[in-house]
Amino acid sequence: MIEQAVLLSTGDELTSGRVVDSNSAYIAGRLYTLGVRVAAVLKVGDDKDKLLWALGQAREMGNIVIGTGGLGPTADDLTTAIVARFLGVELVEDKHVLADLKGRGERHGIPWTSNAGKQTVFPAGATIIPNPVGSALGFNVEMGEGKRLFWLSGVPHEMAIMLNQTVLPWIVNRVVSEEIHEAVFKIHGLTEAQLDELVKPLELDRSTKLSFRAHFPDLTLRLTTIGGALEREHFVSLREQISALLRDFTYAQSDVTLEEVVGALLNQKRLTLALAESCTGGLIAHRITRVPGSSAYFVGGSVSYSNQEKIRALGVSPITLERYGAVSRETALEMSRGILERAGADIALSITGIAGPSGGSPEKPVGTVWASIASSQRHDAKLLRLLVSERERIIQGTSQAALNWLRQSLLEL
Amino acid sequence: MIEQAVLLSTGDELTSGRVVDSNSAYIAGRLYTLGVRVAAVLKVGDDKDKLLWALGQAREMGNIVIGTGGLGPTADDLTTAIVARFLGVELVEDKHVLADLKGRGERHGIPWTSNAGKQTVFPAGATIIPNPVGSALGFNVEMGEGKRLFWLSGVPHEMAIMLNQTVLPWIVNRVVSEEIHEAVFKIHGLTEAQLDELVKPLELDRSTKLSFRAHFPDLTLRLTTIGGALEREHFVSLREQISALLRDFTYAQSDVTLEEVVGALLNQKRLTLALAESCTGGLIAHRITRVPGSSAYFVGGSVSYSNQEKIRALGVSPITLERYGAVSRETALEMSRGILERAGADIALSITGIAGPSGGSPEKPVGTVWASIASSQRHDAKLLRLLVSERERIIQGTSQAALNWLRQSLLEL
């Protein structure tokens, strides 16, 4: 049986534009890797009739329906009662859930309100879906004709845990009674179209999916195989082929950020980092310091936005600035050496470029960026040509390219 | 007639999770302010039958249907042909569009392909919706029973322009033949719940809506009134009441960011800014430099993450650090004074705090942040207590609170 899913979500915040729904894209992405097609995504407000309509449509189009939202204790949270009505079953109180919720409330000194009772009842026949990080439990219930409805919390991180821990394993069991094998490739240096072109020749069998996710400047490729020993063998072979094919473009084979990879390398090699940023304006420092524990390896940096600051804070020579310009190999080299020595770090990265919209010239168009790395053992510079044109994308893309070059340099140290 | 809208979107990227759909939230938000309810949001892949189904459902539930996506030149872009089939009309080539597209291609040296012809035909009877920033034109067509279908490009910034320039004015004309009056309040210092509580007592008539949009740390309140002279009077009175009510919490009365407001003030007063950031790690500098033209007023800054850098780059006294700690009024004051004098700026902002997850103590819990502002005329410090607990939210929230304090200080200078 080919599985077809329909995704539902409910909440007035979705139909009045107060919230961008990221849940459906997340769920669709996870289902796609299992080979489950999403036939449609339906969103309605907190409205009985609309939700009943959506449930009816979903059951008609899909054999797996995954809904989110409306499980809270307040009056506008209607989901559980509407689902019971749709299925023509009673609402049944779960004594374990009731005792557990009352216990939690007591421990936190929150008085029990009658509203909270809404979260302890479920449609008769439903199996409860645990929510390890919140009070809204989900449920899994038969819709007739072997079709299955899952309902999860609408809070994104609660939804993700409930989906990954309970729903996906259930689907995998039903679909193939086999395991999921998954490999992740975090990519830099390719556009989505180039990546697509590179992996196109790979021979995928029916148990295997390749999926992309692009969120500039981040690009992720995910290989998923569902199956037993034979499929696993195919998966391992494919993973190796992809690893070889994308060797020069892969900065990690797990779900981590580039700044986390750089941070782990600095930690591992017991090296400290300093930064000198001009056109990235502090973004690289911000990315480095988003990582918890970054104070162990990040000394600090200078956002030397003006020439005056490049001279004062980094010791760049006024003659260099005059002769070669602020955006030049020579200035980048003096910036990295300057911050390395002054901050007393083991390695330093500098950036100077033209983020636009103004400031470009025929020789140095907007998107021209020089980066430099300095350490006691090396001192070189690299021209980054950003092929995007918006200021924000140049700044973001530069931070990514520079962090990737820093990563490569750390591997060689 | 009460207007009910249904939003459609089409594209395999939506049902495979490759892209998070922000279009529907944007459109829903804009319609909400006009008093148009969104009955449902339907998303389907690039699939003829599913799109026909969605069109049928949408016509049944709404009298205004707004669709996005699938207008491109490639094989999977099916929208225009499917809509014509749904309506039972022919596709008609538009000679002006054809000439225009061919002309554009020639000017850019792109050869004309037969595929491109897909973008020059429209369902018979449709009115073309101009797309000033892309090649995919939209259309507006009667669906029967006085119902109206609009179809727009799926590229977010193209969609927004087409919606605001063509679709919303059309809807306003039809709904009330009156004007839209709109006021925007950008808010700092209130949670969404507190804001809701504050504006609840306001007496809104049926022609007026208040809508919120929260994207941490950003909070926006929008007042919209549709109507003639009488409604306009009511709108002006409400706008004044809200201005007074939210005086202490409003940093702008238009759709701008806090860093743009700060930048405009610096420009207007011809003042230069320098920054000394510890726990925000460069985020404030990044926000300041995201604004085009910021080099006119931003000198630069120091990301003094370690004590060593606070001493070296800012001249903070080791005795101060020893006696009061890095997160203290005294250290913040020395940081702002240090960067002011060294960078030679007119005004300086410093930040030092505990972003967590580790580093907190009972006296200085995670979320304790000191900010300081220095200029030739003033020198003071302020304790910011961030009431969020995640590292990323503490960093983002601190940058917002600090920029707002800087804005207030600039107004007094």
Closest Cα in chain B to A399: B286
Kindly state whether B292 is in contact with chain A, defined as any CB-CB distance less than 8 angstroms.
Answer: yes
Q: Are B275 and A285 in contact (CB under 8 A)?
A: no
A266 and A391: one domain?
Answer: yes
B338 and B358: one domain?
Answer: yes
Helical (H) or strand (E) element with B7? strand B4-10
B201 and B248: one domain?
Answer: yes
A131 and A98: one domain?
Answer: yes
Q: How far apart are the first and last CA of chain B?
A: 53
Kindly state whether A260 is in contact with chain B, defined as any CB-CB distance less than 8 angstroms.
Answer: no
Kindly state whether B24 is in contact with chain A, defined as any CB-CB distance less than 8 angstroms.
Answer: yes
Burial string for B385-401 (b: 16+ CB within 10 Å, else e) reads: ebebeebebbbbbbbbb
Q: Determine the pLDDT at residue A186.
A: 96
A150 and A188: one domain?
Answer: no
Closest Cα in chain A to B31: A16
Kindly state whether A196 is in contact with chain B, defined as any CB-CB distance less than 8 angstroms.
Answer: no
B219 and B310: one domain?
Answer: no
Kindly state whether A161 is in contact with chain B, defined as any CB-CB distance less than 8 angstroms.
Answer: no
Kindly state whether A44 is in contact with chain B, defined as any CB-CB distance less than 8 angstroms.
Answer: yes
Helical (H) or strand (E) element with B252? strand B250-252
Residue A412 CB contacts under 8 Å (≥ 6 apart), including other chains: none
CA proximity to B120, closest of B147, B145, B139, B142: B139
Write down which residue in A214, A235, A252 finishes a domain: A252
Q: Determine the pLDDT at residue B114.
A: 65
Write down which residue in A176, A211, A236 finishes a domain: A176
A290 and A153: one domain?
Answer: no
What CA–CA distance (Å, rounded) separates A349 from A265? 15
A247 and A287: one domain?
Answer: no
Ordered DSSP codes for B161-208: HHIIIIIHHHHHHHHHSSEEEEEEEEE-S--HHHHHHHHTTS---TTE
Q: Report helix angle A329-343 to A307-314, nearest 10.
A: 40
Residue A353 CB contacts under 8 Å (≥ 6 apart), including other chains: A278, A279, A280, A327, A367, A368, A369, A370, A384, A386, A394, A398
Kindly state whether B300 is in contact with chain A, defined as any CB-CB distance less than 8 angstroms.
Answer: yes
Looking at the predicted complex, does its ipTM rise above 0.95? no
Write down which residue in A252, A285, A306 finishes a domain: A252
Nearest-CA distance A77 → chain B (Å): 17
Nearest-CA distance A89 → chain B (Å): 26
A14 and A129: one domain?
Answer: yes
Q: Which tokens is B339 given?
A: 């960067």
How many domains is chain B partitioned into structurally? 3
What CA–CA distance (Å, rounded) separates B276 from B311? 12
Kindly state whether A212 is in contact with chain B, defined as any CB-CB distance less than 8 angstroms.
Answer: yes
Q: What is the DSSP letter of B352?
A: E
B364 and B298: one domain?
Answer: yes
Residue A189, burial from CB neighbour count under 10 angstroms (0-12, 13-18, 19+): middle
Beta bridge partners of B349: B275, B373
Q: From the first residue on, what is the mean pLDDT of each consecutive set of 10 residues in chain A (413 residues)?
A: 84 81 90 87 92 95 94 81 95 89 73 74 95 89 93 91 93 73 92 84 85 81 85 93 96 94 98 98 98 96 95 97 97 98 97 93 93 96 86 94 97 90
Q: Are A283 and A395 in contact (CB under 8 A)?
A: yes
Helical (H) or strand (E) element with B403? helix B391-412
Mutation target for A interface from B222, B289, B396: give the one with most A CBs within 10 A: B289
Task: Say yes or no for a CB contact (<8 Å) between A20 and B20.
Answer: yes
Of the partner residues A21, A25, A275, the one whose CB lies closest to the CB of residue B25: A21
Kindly state whether B288 is in contact with chain A, defined as any CB-CB distance less than 8 angstroms.
Answer: yes
Q: Determine the pLDDT at residue B87.
A: 96
Task: Say yes or no for a CB contact (<8 Å) between B302 and A305.
Answer: no
Each residue's pLDDT expressed in tens, for chain B with a length of 413 residues: 457 999 999 988 888 877 778 899 899 988 988 878 899 999 998 889 999 999 999 999 999 999 999 887 777 778 999 999 999 999 999 988 888 888 877 776 666 766 677 889 999 999 999 998 888 899 999 998 889 999 999 988 889 999 999 999 898 887 655 677 889 999 999 887 788 889 988 988 888 888 877 777 888 898 988 888 888 899 999 999 999 999 999 999 998 999 999 999 999 999 999 999 999 999 999 999 999 999 999 999 999 999 999 999 999 999 999 999 999 999 999 999 999 999 999 999 999 999 999 889 999 999 999 999 999 999 999 999 887 778 998 999 999 999 999 999 999 98
> Could you tell me the residue range of the domain that residue A311 belongs to?
258-412
Q: How far apart are the first and last CA of chain A?
A: 54
Of the partner residues A29, A40, A283, the one whose CB lies closest to the CB of residue B286: A283
Of the partner residues B15, B57, B212, the one whose CB lies closest to the CB of residue A41: B15
Of the partner residues B281, B343, B358, the one whose CB lies closest to the CB of residue A312: B343
Nearest-CA distance A4 → chain B (Å): 11
CATH number at residue A241: 3.30.70.2860
What CA–CA distance (Å, rounded) separates B37 from B30? 10
What CA–CA distance (Å, rounded) separates A4 from A35? 9
From chain B residues 329-348, the ones with a CB under 8 A of any chain A CB are 342-344
Task: Say yes or no for a CB contact (<8 Å) between B40 and A37.
Answer: no
Kindly state whether A281 is in contact with chain B, defined as any CB-CB distance less than 8 angstroms.
Answer: yes
CATH number at residue A373: 3.90.950.20
What CA–CA distance (Å, rounded) separates B405 from B133? 38
Task: Say yes or no for a CB contact (<8 Å) between A292 and B19.
Answer: no
Nearest-CA distance A215 → chain B (Å): 8
Q: How far is CA A29 from CA A12, A153, A157, in A?
A: 24, 18, 15
A113 and A86: one domain?
Answer: yes
Q: What is the pLDDT of residues A90-100, one digit of tens each?
A: 999 998 888 88
Q: How many CB pairs lie under 8 A apart between chains A and B? A: 250
Kindly state whether A49 is in contact with chain B, defined as any CB-CB distance less than 8 angstroms.
Answer: no
Kindly state whether B384 is in contact with chain A, defined as any CB-CB distance less than 8 angstroms.
Answer: no
B9 and B91: one domain?
Answer: yes
